[in-house]
Amino acid sequence: MQTLNTTEQQIIEAARKIFMHKGLAGARMQDIADEAGINKAMLHYYYRSKEKLFEIVFWEAIDQLLVRVNAVLAEKMPVEEKIGAAVSHYIITLSDNPYLPLFVLNEIQQNPDRIIQRFVHAPLFPNVQVFMQEIAAAMEQGIFRKVNPPQLMVSIISMCIFPFVAKPLLQAAFTVNDVQFGMMMEERKKFVTDFVMHALQP
């Protein structure tokens, strides 16, 4: 793994903050340079474009998400607890990196093979098949009512991701600011988990 020097670390941290607040389209190299406390020429010396910086920040966040979810799914715990923990980690990571969902959607449209290779085939990608087998086993034991496990997984992930994709629309519709939206997402961790568990009651 490449070791970054202090200036590179400052730049990456600054880029993370700017992308979190402005996304890829709204961010400017000057914004990142200002946040890092360096001039634009030095920024270009290290990184030629904001797209390159965004890619670094993006995959760093994806790796963070995969590590968190993979750790939960590999943990020896009841499947009911795994669902709640996975929901919590998804929402925490997306709250910290709200630009992720839209970028993933764009990559799926523009570069589907690339996103598959970098995401689905990543060494850290969670073993979803084993998790679905655990869910199916819980259904056979009568712990959960019988539903289609892939449909369940899609529903859980969708309920976690959609608020971040539609954040501007939801804020306008519910008249909430960023702080209030953050509080909604904190509450959503329990809401989604309770909703799913209620839906799975036999």
Q: Please state, rounded to an integer, the average pLDDT across all residues of the chain.
A: 87
188 CA to centre of own chain: 15
CATH assignment of 58-199, given 2.40.110.10, 3.40.50.300, 1.10.357.10, 2.60.60.20? 1.10.357.10
What pLDDT score was predicted for residue 106?
A: 73
What pLDDT score was predicted for residue 159?
A: 96
CB count in 10 Å sphere of residue 168 = 9
Q: Looking at the chain, which residues constitute the CATH 1.10.357.10 domain(s)?
A: 58-199
DSSP state of 61: H
Q: Looking at the chain, which residues constitute the CATH 1.10.10.60 domain(s)?
A: 1-48
CB count in 10 Å sphere of residue 6 = 7
pTM over 0.75? The answer is yes
Average confidence (pLDDT) over 36-63: 87
* pLDDT band at residue 1 under the 50/70/90 scheme: very low
| Residues 106-117: tens digit of each pLDDT | 777 777 787 777
Rounded Cα distance, 73 and 174, in Å: 34
Tell the CATH topology of 1-48.
Answer: Arc Repressor Mutant, subunit A (1.10.10)
